[in-house]
Amino acid sequence: MKTQLTGLLSLALFAAAPAFAAPISQNDQAVIAKEIDQMSHALENHDVAFLADHTYDFAVDQAGGRDAFMKSAESSIQALASKHYRVISVAPQIPSDSVDAGSLEVCVIKEHLVFGVDNDTYQAESFVLGIRKKSDKDWKYLDGAGISKNPSMLKKALPALPDSFQLPETSVSVGGNVPNKK
């Protein structure tokens, strides 16, 4: 009876754990850091094609497809440009271990972003979700700020993500003046 109870307890603990959590390779860490930096600068450079190519398909589909996503991104970029938006620095942290989400693996990349709008400097603690098919080498990304504002979208975007998955906190603070970039 004791052995049977121990076996059931072990099975229950195993079932409650995420399906797998695996470290992200150093090569993937480098790729992710580079692509997150490029995505941040793509806003400044009006490179909507790069953004569309590296954004998780769910977000592109929610925008109405690639063309609609790029049009919306360009509109957002224009609005940011009118406010003299510029990236000052992007510092992604080492990605979390990947989490099993059915046919996908997902990792969290926390980042510290310093950006300017008009004459002000802002510092943001945010995150990006790195997502890829387990059979693929290419990562796609989902902006954490958007998901944080509407957490119910996370289950729609990644229905197989374990219920225990927690989103990191985000924050933005104003921090000083910087000259406008012209």
Give the pair of three-digit tokens for residue 82.
Answer: 């009118």
Q: CATH number for the domain including 166?
A: 3.10.450
CB 133 within 8 A of CB 104: yes
For residue 11, is it within any domain?
no
- The boundaries of the domain holding residue 134 are 21-177
Domains identified in the chain, total number: 1
What was the pLDDT predicted at 20? Answer: 54
Q: Is residue 10 part of a domain?
A: no
Prediction pTM value: 0.82
99, 105 Cβ separation under 8 angstroms: yes
Q: According to the model, what pLDDT value does residue 9 have?
A: 28
User: Residue 54 CA to chain centroid, in angstroms?
Assistant: 11
Note the pLDDT of residue 37: 87
For residue 64, CA distances in Å to 58, 68, 117, 136 come to 10, 5, 29, 24
* pLDDT < 50 regions, the chain: 1-19, 178-182
For residues 35 and 131, is the Cβ–Cβ distance under 8 A? no
d(CA 69, CA 48): 8
Q: Which two tokens stand for residue 163?
A: 């219920």
- What pLDDT is attached to residue 5? 30
In the chain, the amino acid numbered 49 is A
Q: What is the pLDDT of residue 176?
A: 55
